[in-house]
Amino acid sequence: MDLVIGRVAKSHGVRGEVVVDIRTDDPEARFAPGTVLHGRRPRGGGEQNFTVTAARQHAGRLLLSLDEVSDRTAADALRGVLFVIDSSAVDSGDDPDEFYDHEIEGLPVTTVDGAEVGVLASVLHLPGSDVLAVRTPDDREVLIPFVREIVPTVSRNGIVIDPPAGLIDDLDDLEP
């Protein structure tokens, strides 16, 4: 399974730099000059490796120069490319409040009262906030805002939610 560590947002300047939206906790190491990045093009457009030649911050964003990209046209063609790493190469460690998506996907989701909601299918990283996509026993998808007020407990054993009224349809049908 691959983990996304960055996404090419757009080109920058005329020399082929790209603006990268960072999705990793260690951008200095993951995007260091000399690092080979595995890029996946959107919509099944193929995969390619890229070698970082320079990385710098500009206006709060990461700019990368890549050996394989020499001009703005080539940089424009990379819009939407995801830089990924193998999930087996990372471990969140012993801190119970830190985890990677792949470490919690598939865990059971219950309410604070013990009612089964379903299984965590994925974590959606949206511009406004993160959202948990939970697959219910009757194969529906329920979206839960991933905020402490609604998701008070996340552990390697399961996820406990305290949904406000109306967040989950048919909550009364859930069995404790």
- Listed residue (95, 107, 105, 99) closest to 160, CA to CA: 107
Q: Residue 175 has what pLDDT?
A: 53
Is the confidence at residue 95, as pLDDT, over 70? no
pLDDT at position 50 is 95
Q: Which residues, at least 6 apart from 135, have a Cβ–Cβ distance to it below 8 Å? A: 118, 119, 120, 121, 141
The CATH number assigned to the domain with range 2-89 reads: 2.40.30.60
Task: Give span(s): CATH 2.40.30.60, the chain.
Answer: 2-89
pLDDT digits (tens, 9 = 90+) for 12-67: 999 999 999 988 878 998 999 999 999 998 777 789 999 999 999 988 889 999 99
Kindly provide the residue ranges of all beta strands, DSSP E only, lying in the chain, ordered along the sequence. Answer: 2-12, 17-22, 36-40, 47-58, 61-66, 82-86, 108-111, 116-125, 130-135, 141-145, 153-155, 158-161
Q: What dotted CATH number matches 101-168?
A: 2.30.30.240
Whether the pLDDT of residue 94 is over 80: the answer is no
What pLDDT sits at residue 1?
A: 64
Entry pTM: 0.62
In which residue ranges of the chain is CATH 2.30.30.240 found? 101-168
